[in-house]
Amino acid sequence: SPQVAASVLDTLLAASSSPDSAFQVAAVVTQPPAAKNRGRKLLPSAVAQLALERGFPGDLIFTPERAGEESFLSDLKGVKPELCITAAYGNILPQRFLDIPPCGTVNIHPSLLPLYRGAAPVQRALQDGVAETGVSLAYTIRALDAGPVIACERFSVDECIKAPELLAILFNIGSKLLLDELPSVLDGSAKQKAKPQDDSKATLAPKMNSDESWLTFDEEAKVLHNKVRAFAGWPGTRAKLQLMNQNGEPDVLDIKVISTNVSTSCDKVGDENEILFSGNSLLVPCSGSTWLEVLELQLPGKKVTTARDFWNGLRGQKLLKST
């Protein structure tokens, strides 16, 4: 349903329009329109939006609240799909859905299954600081992300990439992998070569929760940096800082931390909870004598700002981390 899934649909529509294509897109299934931003106006999902822009018939864009609704399942049976492809759909697929397409349902999952099964594989992998992840094409069964794997591709993760960017890259790789594998999926040979997952090696990637978005500086800088990368986009990462006012009393600042880095050393000296500034970064003391460099941040109701502009705006007032 989100933008990354729209890119997969775009790839499929483009491939299906070529004269020698072995398939056509029979229907599109996505989440129902949702209220976006402050206007609370109902807007179609990114997938529905893209399908309409590409001239896909509106009556073949299905938006059930749940994929088990009778009217939806009968509409889906009516288009006689041979194969269903899912990418970040966001709804549980009941067995009655999975029984419809004779070639099965194939999911693009942005992890190297059986690692990171669940709703937030990219975010949880970044939070764990992995050096490598990837994308898997797997048959969908009733158990979560547990079906046989048709193919996968590995991807090296650099230390600064954030979740939205990595998600887009992995779904892009996944789309190409899907096109490569479609002939074998449609002729049934993919079912023979697909490898069952080793459930004993499975790890879970539960969905993100806004309660998790707070940073506490009693952890090592690397852990906090990985969390900022993982939570970028939604729900973001927040921290409470203390700004010492003219009376020497602390005012609490609630900031969103946008971009960070890890500094192993700091050539400046301050009190143990004092936040310093060096180069273009705020330097926040963390556990294990490590320092988190904050490069960009956002104050409530304001635009994202650089650490330098934020520091200049303090006019020499002392900044401390909350304890």
Measured distance CA(139)–CA(251) in Å, rounded: 54
Q: What is the pTM of this model?
A: 0.94
Tokens of 137: 């094409």
User: For the residues of 26-47, what is the DSSP string, one character each?
Assistant: --EE-PPPEEETTTTEEE--HH
Which pLDDT band, with edges at 50, 70 and 90, does 39 fall under?
Answer: low
Q: What was the pLDDT predicted at 56?
A: 97
Q: What was the pLDDT predicted at 51?
A: 98
Residue 222, pLDDT > 70, answer yes
Q: Domain spanning 3-205: which superfamily?
A: Formyl transferase, N-terminal domain (3.40.50.170)
Residue 194, pLDDT > 80, answer yes
Which of 14-28, 33-47, 100-114 bottoms out in mean pLDDT, i.e. has the lowest? 33-47
User: For the residues of 178-235, what is the DSSP string, one character each?
Assistant: HHHHHHHHHSSHHHHHPBPP-GGG--B-PPP-GGGGB--TTSBHHHHHHHHHHHTTTT
**Higher-pLDDT residue of 100, 323:** 100
Task: Sketch the domain layout of the chain as residue ranges.
Answer: 3-205, 210-321
Q: What was the pLDDT predicted at 38?
A: 66
Which of 114-118, 157-161, 277-281 bottoms out in mean pLDDT, i.e. has the lowest? 277-281
Average of per-residue pLDDT values in the chain: 94
Taking the chain, what is the end-to-end CA distance rounded to the nearest angstrom? Answer: 40
Asked whether 319 and 278 are in contact (CB, 8 A), the reply is: no
Examine domains 3-205 and 210-321 and report if their fold is the same. no
CATH, range 210-321: 3.10.25.10
